[in-house]
Amino acid sequence: MQRMSDAYDPPRDPITILQDDAHLLAVVKPAGLLSVPGRGPDLADCLMARLAPVFPGILLVHRLDRDTSGVMVFALTPHAQRALSMEFECRRAKKTYAARVAGILEPRSGTVDLPLTVDWPNRPRQMVCHDTGRPAQTDWKVISHGDGETCVRLTPHTGRTHQLRVHMLALGHVILGDTIYATGPARDHPRLMLHAEELRINHPETGHGLRLRAPAPF
């Protein structure tokens, strides 16, 4: 079975488009595909590169980790890029993720409020650090319990690197398929069980609220 920690071999499936107008483009990024190019020609294939031939004015607004699937929005004009970027910087953008985590998560809901920083000797790992970490908050809500695992909805209020992955690890319920933080049977899954299910933003031109949604594929 191909692991996402192996040599970069992104999926070739067509990209699903959720919304396309003169100002923005919303799509569903598949798991295993970089949002933007990595370092070196072997990491040049990415979501932006695949979209650029059809949308030549595409501009980056935010990113998802390579192993995370789900809703991403791009700008198609400089004005839209500025407006959409402010949605994220000012925390007006509301993101909701679906995840499958190891173990039976209890109680049914809660908030993780733990500061995060890079674990320099073990990059790209991140870690909780109360001395030098940046504030990070994540709400969680249990959707269902299964055979030794839990489906959970995660709502981050900050956008730190690996925030959801480290916060779930800190709770003792690592996200299944996480090749960076999981060990043992929790690691043995074909993909990271984390999906950006919904993004709520204001349209950069009209100001109207947009609800962009793609149900989790797991």
Share of the chain above pLDDT 70, in %: 97
pTM score, whole prediction: 0.95
Q: Is the pLDDT of residue 133 over 80?
A: yes
**Averaged pLDDT, 148-158:** 98
Q: Report how many domains make up the chain.
A: 1
CATH code for the domain of 172: 3.30.2350.10
Pairwise CA distance, residues 180 & 198, whole Å: 24
Q: Does 123 reside within a domain?
A: yes
Q: Does 9 reside within a domain?
A: no
What is each CA distance from 193 to 7, 21, 113, 152, 181, in whole angstroms? 20, 31, 22, 11, 13
Q: Which domain holds residue 138?
A: 16-213
**Averaged pLDDT, 176-186:** 97
pLDDT of residue 128: 98
Pairwise CA distance, residues 72 & 68, whole Å: 11
pLDDT of residue 121: 97
Q: Does 54 reside within a domain?
A: yes
Q: How many helices (H) and strands (E) does the chain have?
A: 3, 11
Share of the chain above pLDDT 90, in %: 97
Q: Is the pLDDT of residue 184 over 60?
A: yes
CA angle 187, 191, 196 (to 5 degrees): 115
- From 196, 152, 158, select the one nearest 176 (Cα to Cα): 152
Q: Is the pLDDT of residue 2 over 60?
A: no
Catalytic residues: 65
Q: Does 3 reside within a domain?
A: no
Residue 148 near residue 103 (C-beta atoms within 8 A): yes
